[in-house]
Chain A
Amino acid sequence: MSTLGTLLRQRLRRDRLQLALWIIGIGVLAYGSIAAVLDTYGDEAERTQILQLATASRTILVFRGTPNGTDLGAFSFFELFAWLALMGGLMSTFLVTRHTRAEEEQGRAELIAATPAGRVKPTVATLIHGVVANLVLGVVVALALIGAGLEAEGSWVTGAAMAATGIAFVAIGLFAAQLFRTSRGANGAGVAVVVGAYLLRGIGDAAGTPSDDLLHVTPAWPSWLSPIGWGQATGAFVENELWPLLLALGVSVVLVAIVFALQSVRDQGASLLPGRKGRASASWALSSSFGLAWRLNVSTLIAWAVGAAVAGLTASSLSGLIDEVSGDVPQVVDTLQAALGGGATLEQAFIAMFLSIIGILAACCAVQVAIRARQEEAHGTAEQVLATPVPRMRWLLEYWLVGVLVIVVVLAAAWLGGLAGSGASNTPSDLVPLISQAALAQLPVSLVFLGLTLLVFALLPRWTIGLGWSIVGVAAIVGVFGPLLGAPDWMVDLSPFTHSPVPTGDDIDWSGGFWMIAIGLVAAALAVVSMRRRELASGA
């Protein structure tokens, strides 16, 4: 017992900040979203309209859930639960990998296994740790919903659904840790299962059977294969049934039993799936420092590009739909148009808004490339490259080039996705120039963040990661949500995102774009020049 207690305390101690941020973050997200729902859809008529729109469109259901009536709680549950469960799932699988496979891979688990704690108790401690974290998360979410003004019983059912889904993902994470040799593999599998569970229920929900008034949807069978789908099946705030959660707990028990069976027969450090063997020699693509910078960024780029393509596809296919329903439900159109900003047609405004979110995505990608340069430096691998005939300035310039390429690929993916989805529109030919302009309009702002983060890297290397993400995060919140939250104009104007050209109407003002391209180039040039004077700053 005492060793188990020690292991558990060590886990709590190590995670105290990280887990607190996850749990409080999800709680705040829940509270804030409900507040926004109450604010935007306080009126039952509005909720009816949006639910009918969602049920008619189906695509929206992929990202939300199954409508279950216009009750305020049920409406919030529909809007929110799948997202919250997705976050909780990621929290859970990361938590598990961190304390199991990552420890084994680093060799620290061996240190522990050689003490009386043995090989299996650390896994028990991780299981308890994950379960406790999810119970706390469930309570926090329930309290957040109650605090935001929702009815108590439904809120507690939502909290229970959060906890049960999260616990299922803890079990899945433990299983993945048995399968894979590396923490990267285990985390990858964990994320894939969580996102897969989200998409599976999305497909099931979108393929579900709507009621006649379009206010209820009964999900199709794929939703029943997903832990998030089980959480939704509680019908919180209406049916308030807890039995679907037994599915989550049952699967968890079975998986945990398998995990302990595997753990008791395998060697410390070994895995069920053998580590994959790679190439014995490098391909021609990996023969320059540019090739290396590209290689280090390409796998994340693919993920971002797929995301951008899906977002583009959704945007243009939805816009066609919005056009379609505008005749039927004029109130919805008014509501949406008011939210999107006047002047333009609904379709234009909608696509512009969606692509501005893709602009944030592309900017984040660019920031990540700059951060990769810092990681190379901190990790010590940059030192080896720079000890070969690669000058420092060229090295950083190549990261900038890779950043530009990444931005272009992400925007191109969104653009292609948009074109593919534009077939759903009544007037696809109008949509093509619009989507093209909207995608192009996101290039300047991404260049600004690429340049700024590289400049931070060149001047304050140790701050790159924290400051890089903070700048783009704050700018995105202020620029995109600031006007909705009532932030003062000067503050909103500080965010580069505010200045992205908006391709609505006939006259597009591109001047903000040109200014931002200039700023982005100047920042990047300063960064490259500063690199000449800068030493390598290794270590954290």
Chain B
Amino acid sequence: MTTVISASGLEKRFGRTVALDGLDLQVDAGEVHGFLGPNGAGKSTTIRIILGLARASGGSAALFGQDPWKHAGELHRRVAYVPGDVSLWPNLTGGEAIDLLARLRGGTHDKAGYAARKQRLLEVFDFDPRKKGRAYSKGNRQKVALIAAFATSAELYILDEPTSGLDPLMEQVFNREIARVSAEGATVLLSSHILSEVEELCDRVSIIRAGKTVESGTLAELRHLTRTEIAFAADGVDPATLAAEVDRIPDAHDLLIDHGRVSFTVDSDRVTSVLPELARLDVHGLTVSPPSLEELFLRHYGDELRERTDVSEEALA
């Protein structure tokens, strides 16, 4: 399998601010790769370096095996990019901007084919191309970049938080387009902080934090690292007795009895060992939830969240 994007030990400093601090990222051909991190983690900076719009202060980045800073122009023939915050030219209509971007990308040689693709996308995204750039809302500006990207066929689609202004209906349209280009063999790098989106679309994810990659792999691999939550109804049993029972189960952690539900977590590879115990207790309303990406995420950012809560509590005190 060939590597489309590879970055290792990527560093980027803006004055004294460290935006990237040894980031690693590998995206293989044909995969849909989720690039996860909270705002300010360095996602957009990484993308700008991969596109050759910014230069790394350290480490190395390669796009299709070449240095993106030196070969930006030629590499861009193979890439379609949707920025996170799409700006439009105030005196160009949305339709003009779409055509311009598609033509610059060189994806309009087949005129009839392009016109048909554009027309289909205008319809599925329910977009009015005749308004001037200023008149569009954030979601509609994003549609301009998305339509321009999907109307041309690229080997690699780089999408920086592409759905942040779209409504749920349009998110579905977006998901279908990603599925389409992926089925056609394109590679997709999808930066996001919307976990459900990544869960639905991506084959592999990289989670970054403060300019560093903290986790990378398939969702199954990552899930493996976290605990599954098991919960059942307390059914009027005396909480103390129940707690004592559960405590006897090996592998059970984080016991919580609340709102008539008992819940605890187990390491994901130990779930089966817990089941006989649950059968013995004859529990009702059993739910076994594999870890969501959200929990994965919180595992890495939870302490940050806690710190922030502490700070605000201190401020209140």
Contacts and interface: CB of A to CB of B under 8 A. Distances in A.
A287 B55 contact: no
B101 A536 contact: no
Interface string B48-76: 10010111000000000000000011101
B77 interface: yes
B73 to A, nearest CB: 4
Interface of B: 48, 51, 53-55, 72-74, 76-77, 79, 81, 83, 85-93, 95-101, 103-106, 108, 118, 129-132, 134-135, 145
Contact of B96 (A275, A281, A386, A394): A281
A280 B87 CA distance: 18
A279 B91 CA distance: 11
A195 to B, nearest CB: 20
A389 B155 CA distance: 14
B81 A389 contact: no
A270 B118 CA distance: 30
Contacts of A380: 83, 85-87
A387 interface: yes
Contacts of A381: 87-89
Nearest to A534: B55
Given A380-B87, A388-B106, 16 more contacts: A278-B95, A278-B130, A287-B99, A287-B108, A291-B100, A292-B89, A295-B91, A383-B53, A384-B145, A386-B53, A388-B104, A389-B74, A389-B105, A389-B106, A392-B72, A536-B54
Contact of A287 (B74, B103, B135): B103
Interface residues of A, number: 37
B135 A387 contact: no
Contacts of A295: 91-92
A181 B135 contact: yes
A255 B103 CA distance: 47
A281 B83 contact: no
A279 B130 contact: yes
Interface of A: 105, 181-182, 184, 275-282, 286-289, 291-292, 295-296, 299, 379-381, 383-392, 394, 535-536
A478 to B, nearest CB: 35
Given A383-B53, A389-B106, A392-B72, A287 B100 contact: yes
B129 A388 contact: no
A391 B72 contact: yes
A439 B249 CA distance: 94
A509 B72 CA distance: 46
B54 to A, nearest CB: 5
Nearest to A184: B90
A390 B73 contact: yes
Give the one of B72, B90, B100 with max A CB within 10 A: B100
Contact of A387 (B55, B79, B85, B132): B79
B279 to A, nearest CB: 57
Nearest to A533: B55
A281 B99 contact: yes
Give the one of B48, B77, B81, B89 with max A CB within 10 A: B89
B5 to A, nearest CB: 14
15 contacts: A105-B134, A182-B135, A184-B90, A278-B132, A280-B93, A280-B129, A281-B96, A281-B118, A282-B98, A383-B53, A384-B81, A384-B101, A388-B76, A390-B76, A391-B73
A388 B72 CA distance: 9
A384 B83 contact: yes
Given A277-B130, A384-B83, A388-B104, A296 B91 contact: yes
Contacts of A287: 99-100, 103-104, 108
Contacts of B81: 384, 387-388
A369 to B, nearest CB: 15
Given A275-B132, A278-B131, A280-B93, A536 B53 contact: yes
A282 B51 CA distance: 26
A281 B73 contact: no
A281 B135 contact: no
Give the one of B88, B103, B131, B145 with max A CB within 10 A: B103
A181 B131 CA distance: 12
Given A288-B104, A292-B100, A394-B73, A535 B53 contact: yes
A297 to B, nearest CB: 11
Task: Return the 8 tightest CB-CB contacts between A and B, nearest first.
Answer: A282-B99, A278-B93, A391-B73, A380-B87, A388-B104, A282-B96, A387-B81, A280-B95
B90 A387 contact: no
Contacts of A379: 87
A535 B54 contact: yes
B103 A288 contact: yes
Nearest to B158: A387
Nearest to B53: A536
Contacts of B55: 535
Contacts of B86: 380, 384
B66 to A, nearest CB: 14
A276 B85 CA distance: 25
Contacts of A181: 135
A390 B88 CA distance: 18
Give the one of B48, B105, B108, B132 with max A CB within 10 A: B132
B53 A286 contact: no
A30 B8 CA distance: 64
Nearest to A380: B87
Give the one of B106, B135, B145 with max A CB within 10 A: B135
Nearest to B75: A389
A389 B81 CA distance: 11
A279 B83 CA distance: 24
Contact of A385 (B77, B95, B104, B108): B104
B103 A282 contact: yes
Contacts of A299: 91
B69 to A, nearest CB: 9
A343 B95 CA distance: 59
Nearest to B99: A282
B101 A388 contact: yes
B83 A383 contact: yes
B134 A184 contact: yes
A277 B128 CA distance: 10
A536 to B, nearest CB: 5
A184 B85 CA distance: 22
A276 to B, nearest CB: 8
A299 B90 CA distance: 13
